[in-house]
Amino acid sequence: MPTEILMPALSPTMEEGTLAKWLVKEGDTVSSGDILAEIETDKATMEFEAVDEGTVGKILVAEGTEAVKVNTAIAVLLDEGEDAGDIDKAAASAPGSGSGQTQEAPDERAPEKATAKARSGAAQGEALTPNTEPDWPQGTETANQTVREALNSAIAEELRRDDSVFLMGEEVAEYEGAYKITQGLLDEFGARRIIDTPITEHGFAGIGVGAALGGLRPIVEFMTWNFAMQAIDQIINSAAKTLYMSGGQMGCPIVFRGPNGAAARVGAQHSQDYATWYSQVPGLKVVQPYSASDAKGLLKSAIRDPNPVIFLENEILYGKSFEVPVLDDFTVPFGKARVWREGDDVTIVSFGIGMTYAMEAAEKLAENGIEAEVIDLRTLRPIDYDTVIASVRKTNRCVTVEEGWPVCAIGNHISAVLMERAFDWLDAPVINCTGKDVPMPYAANLEKMALTSTDEVLEAVRQVTYR
Amino acid sequence: MAAPKSTKKSNISADELKGHYRDMLLIRRFEEKAGQLYGMGLIGGFCHLYIGQEAVVVGLEAAAEEGDKRITTYRDHGHMLACGMDPNGVMAELTGRDGGYSRGKGGSMHMFSKEKHFYGGHGIVGANVPLGAGLAFADKYRGEDRVTFTYFGDGAANQGQVYETFNMAALWDLPVVFVIENNQYAMGTSQKRSTSTPDIYTRGEAFGIPGEAVDGMDVLAVKAAGDKAVKHCRSGKGPYILEIKTYRYRGHSMSDPAKYRTREEVQKMREEKDAIEHVRDLLLSGDHASEEDLKAIDKEIKEIVNASAEFAKESPEPEPEELWTDIYADVTPQNQVAGEGEETNAN
């Protein structure tokens, strides 16, 4: 049976091309790999090779022909023992011949799930499931603990629980952590499981991801998240996307953790909040705790999570103390915001160190008779939208607070979701309190100005409450 | 080529030699078919063919044992076929269909098989090198006597993370064979124009990693070098580097007009150094196989490849629901931002 040689697609975007030159003529014998023709694509002139052996029976498209559509038959190749007479027979028996291969057109199925929800439905009041559960049962004994101690005990408990958990990073073992989060761990767990790495973020992040693909549960400490920019390709391209790219075969259970955001007077390269960077990436989970109980409960959940988790801590919060429940195995689930303070007049949404401004502002507002509801998102992917929306339905006003930059801030995203899903309940525009749109300056006064502040939160609340 | 030729007096059996011939031929014919399907518009995007380099993976797979791992970059079809993955599943992934290894969600550059210990299929040049060391780390951590073959090209050998990995792999004695598939061109840039030293394996010396150059057009030389490297790793001595000097006949990807080298250069390699022809000659001259035997193998391969192409055309596109699966191992998000629904437990 004669074989049609079709106009090939020679680039990802090519739809048609020019048949610049034939390098064979009718009657020539060709074998696999021989150049048949030169074809001009949208990018370059390409040589087009024979795939099958045979004799060129007929050239159907003359050289110099422009705009030859991909998959048009351009020549006919005869097999051993065939002659030109077979071509017509073949043409008669193949109705599609000459106009292209019998390639199925891609199935133009309409997307079954409309991406845009009927917004009017949202205005009617969709059912919400705000988080009203306490993090631990009433009456549970609590102890006062710093965030640092809470993180340390979370790691230690998970190392005890599961031998596949190990910790790697710079100065985590013998030095016991640049910020002393890993104090005592080398003593208890040994050098097999608490591993000092060279200063080589890109490399050890990749080794961590490889170990996770190989079935371990690594905790990779970045001395600070600033240095993780060297490793962000491994975090996103290798850790976050592999499960999807593998059709669900290769999960990557790994925790990347360390201090994030501004510390104090360490300048532009050491003072950046990455909340919004990582929260944009499907495949990652992102946690930014404020309190010690959340630091502990969420880190334990992160280590057990079968997905890559970004765990953003804060150096200034490390030394802050909170009540932590005394329980054998205390975990906090992802995607549940915590309402720290109830109020009817305004909703203040924050996370991480932003909560210190939010809480301080709420106390001052209460002195002036304004009751703020303060919500700590705790996890930024997934975000607990329902708890925020339910609160805004009650207060009709919202202010967001974070230390990161203002463009594409988490607060911007919350505002957009409120616009879509709570528009009819809003009595004022949502205001985002954020860090300023500048690299972090060193000078004490300028650094203070560059961050957001309790005063800015108070001013924002005054604006949305029209007082 | 500086690498030594294998001795023809190898004590390899006729069956092994025929096996190498068959495995290399499968890759070549599969890739030719893939090129054809690309030309027909059935395969989209990037498609990097392995034609010319077949002896590298076939030789090294012959040195691997059950449970050993492999990971590579984006010129990965040959690696998958050589480690025993199903040609149907590979071809159907190339056409973006439900029957593909990643159910159509990965494509040419992103395929995986847990069963065959094949860890991809990675598109960022050099990024799979620390991943490979991490796989070896996991084996060592668990006390498992396994080796990870970590393949990358002469182009990737100029990425910084490769040397970060060399350092840690040597420091921690990780059982990893770094396989530099030196096909002499990093996309369109020749090794001469991109790489300061002619022998890339010597870069391991700075980290105390032994290595050697190997003639990658000679499957027996590759197998012998692979045996040596694997033995080194299994004995607990840490990583080993094999720089396998090879050559790709086709362009970097399907849309590469390959103007950076002459037609004659490619033709000369094909005529004088072709790995498959080399084994064919060994088989016939050594009376290990007859022309008829080889024809039978050719026919078998042709049938497998044609069947894979048919399967890849017949297999349906993935269901629209697949858009939302496999993002997380535990939950299936469904456009949560717009309140499209709750996260549901996938398990």
Q: Give mean pLDDT, residues A231-258.
A: 97
The model's confidence at residue A90, banded by pLDDT at 50, 70 and 90, is low
Measure in Å the smallest separation between the Cα of A364 and chain B Cα atoms: 33
The model's confidence at residue A107, banded by pLDDT at 50, 70 and 90, is very low
| Residue A80 touches chain B, beta carbons under 8 Å | no
The residue among A106 and A147 whose pLDDT is bigger is A147
* pLDDT confidence of residue A99: 41
* pLDDT confidence of residue A14: 84
| Whether the Cβ atoms of residue A243 and residue A283 lie closer than 8 Å to each other | yes
Residues of A with CB below 8 A from B255's CB? 10-12, 14, 41, 43-44, 46
The residue among A30 and A184 whose pLDDT is bigger is A184
> For residue A100, is pLDDT > 70?
no
Of B33, B38, B119, the CB nearest to A213: B119
* pLDDT confidence of residue B256: 86
Residues of A with CB below 8 A from B39's CB? 6, 8-10
Nearest residue of B to residue A242 by CA position? B110
Q: Which amino acid is at A379?
A: T
Q: Any idea of the CA torsion for B41, B46, B49, B50, to the nearest 10 degrees?
A: -150
* pLDDT confidence of residue A146: 98
Share of chain A above pLDDT 70, in %: 91
* pLDDT confidence of residue A35: 86
Residues of B with CB below 8 A from A33's CB? 249, 270
Q: Which amino acid is at A222?
A: F
* pLDDT confidence of residue A254: 98
Q: Of A59-73, A125-139, B151-165, which one has max mean pLDDT? A: B151-165
Per-residue DSSP letters for A258-275? Answer: EE-S--SS--GGG----H
Whether residues A206 and B133 touch (CB distance < 8 A) is answered with yes
Whether residues A206 and B171 touch (CB distance < 8 A) is answered with no
What is the overall mean pLDDT for chain A? 91
> For residue B108, is pLDDT > 70?
yes
Q: Give mean pLDDT, residues B123-139.
A: 98
Judged by average pLDDT, the poorest of B13-17, B82-86, B181-185, B340-344 is B340-344
Of A51, A198, A243, the CB nearest to B32: A51
* pLDDT confidence of residue A54: 87
Whether residues B110 and A245 touch (CB distance < 8 A) is answered with yes
* Residue A270 annotated among the catalytic residues of the structure: yes
Going by the DSSP 8-state scheme, the letter that residue A99 receives in this structure is S
Best mutation target among B147, B168, B334 (most A Cβ atoms within 10 Å) is B168
**Exposure on the CB side of residue B132, measured as CA atoms within 13 A:** 34
pLDDT per residue as tens digits for the range A412-442: 999 999 999 999 999 999 999 999 999 999 9
| Whether the Cβ atoms of residue B94 and residue B108 lie closer than 8 Å to each other | yes
The residue among A45 and B162 whose pLDDT is bigger is B162
Nearest residue of B to residue A232 by CA position? B127
Q: For residue B271, report the phi and psi dihedrals to the nearest 5 degrees.
A: -80, -35
> For residue B15, is pLDDT > 90?
yes
pLDDT per residue as tens digits for the range B21-73: 999 999 999 999 999 999 999 999 999 999 999 999 999 999 999 999 999 99
Nearest residue of B to residue A420 by CA position? B338
State how far the alpha carbon of A353 is from the alpha carbons of A89, A262, A378, A381, A402, in Å.
79, 10, 11, 17, 7
Q: Any idea of the CA torsion for B333, B335, B336, B340, to the nearest 10 degrees?
A: -110
> For residue A206, is pLDDT > 90?
yes
* pLDDT confidence of residue A262: 94
| Residue B40 touches chain A, beta carbons under 8 Å | yes
d(CA B75, CA B263): 22
Per-residue DSSP letters for B276-345? Answer: HHHHHHHHHHTTSS-HHHHHHHHHHHHHHHHHHHHHHHHSPPPPGGGGGSSSSSSEE--SGGGT----EE
> For residue A385, is pLDDT > 50?
yes
Going by the DSSP 8-state scheme, the letter that residue A236 receives in this structure is I
| Residue A126 touches chain B, beta carbons under 8 Å | yes
Q: For residue A113, report the phi and psi dihedrals to the nearest 5 degrees.
A: -110, 110
> For residue A403, is pLDDT > 90?
yes
Instruction: Look up residue B288 and give its two tokens.
Output: 């290990």
> For residue A37, is pLDDT > 80?
yes
In our burial notation (b when 16+ CB lie closer than 10 A, e otherwise), range A82-109 reads: beeebbeebbeeeeebeebbeeeeeeee
| Whether the Cβ atoms of residue B248 and residue B242 lie closer than 8 Å to each other | no
d(CA B28, CA B131): 28
User: Positive or negative, the Cα torsion across B13, B16, B18, B20?
Assistant: negative
pTM of this prediction? 0.89
The model's confidence at residue A108, banded by pLDDT at 50, 70 and 90, is very low
| Residue B328 touches chain A, beta carbons under 8 Å | yes
Whether residues A216 and B138 touch (CB distance < 8 A) is answered with yes
From chain B residues 88-117, the ones with a CB under 8 A of any chain A CB are: 100-106, 110-114
* pLDDT confidence of residue A117: 45
Cis amide leading into B52 (omega within 30): no
d(CA A62, CA B222): 46
Of B39, B110, B165, the CB nearest to A8: B39
State how far the alpha carbon of A35 is from the alpha carbons of A19, A60, A71, B184, B193, in Å.
13, 17, 18, 22, 28
Instruction: Look up residue B63 and give its two tokens.
Output: 């040195």
- The number of angstroms, rounded, from the C-alpha of B35 to the middle of its chain's C-alpha atoms is 17
Alpha helices in B112-197 (DSSP H): 128-141, 160-171, 191-194
State how far the alpha carbon of A119 is from the alpha carbons of A310, A420, A430, in Å.
32, 7, 19
* List of residues 6+ apart from B124 with CB closer than 8 A: A233, A237, A238
The model's confidence at residue A97, banded by pLDDT at 50, 70 and 90, is very low
The model's confidence at residue A88, banded by pLDDT at 50, 70 and 90, is low
The model's confidence at residue B334, banded by pLDDT at 50, 70 and 90, is low
* pLDDT confidence of residue A105: 41
The model's confidence at residue A10, banded by pLDDT at 50, 70 and 90, is confident
Q: For residue A302, report the phi and psi dihedrals to the nearest 5 degrees.
A: -60, -45
* pLDDT confidence of residue A4: 87
Instruction: Look up residue B267 and give its two tokens.
Output: 């033709």
The model's confidence at residue A102, banded by pLDDT at 50, 70 and 90, is very low
Q: Give mean pLDDT, residues B193-205.
A: 94
Measure in Å the smallest separation between the Cα of B283 and chain A Cα atoms: 22
* Residue listed under structure tokens 């910790």: A167
Q: Give mean pLDDT, residues B102-120.
A: 97
Cis amide leading into A253 (omega within 30): no
The model's confidence at residue B207, banded by pLDDT at 50, 70 and 90, is very high
Going by the DSSP 8-state scheme, the letter that residue B1 receives in this structure is -
The residue among B341 and B265 whose pLDDT is bigger is B265
Instruction: Look up residue A417 and give its two tokens.
Output: 């979701």
In which order are the strands placed within the sheet that holds A65-69?
Answer: A45-49, A35-40, A16-22, A65-69
| Residue B130 touches chain A, beta carbons under 8 Å | yes
* pLDDT confidence of residue B337: 56
Q: Which of A82, A201, A221, A402 is catalytic?
A: A201
Q: How many CB pairs under 8 A join A and B?
A: 238
Whether residues B135 and A210 touch (CB distance < 8 A) is answered with yes
Q: Give mean pLDDT, residues A335-344.
A: 97
Measure in Å the smallest separation between the Cα of B103 and chain A Cα atoms: 6
The residue among B249 and A108 whose pLDDT is bigger is B249
Of B112, B114, B339, the CB nearest to A117: B339
Q: Give mean pLDDT, residues A229-243.
A: 98
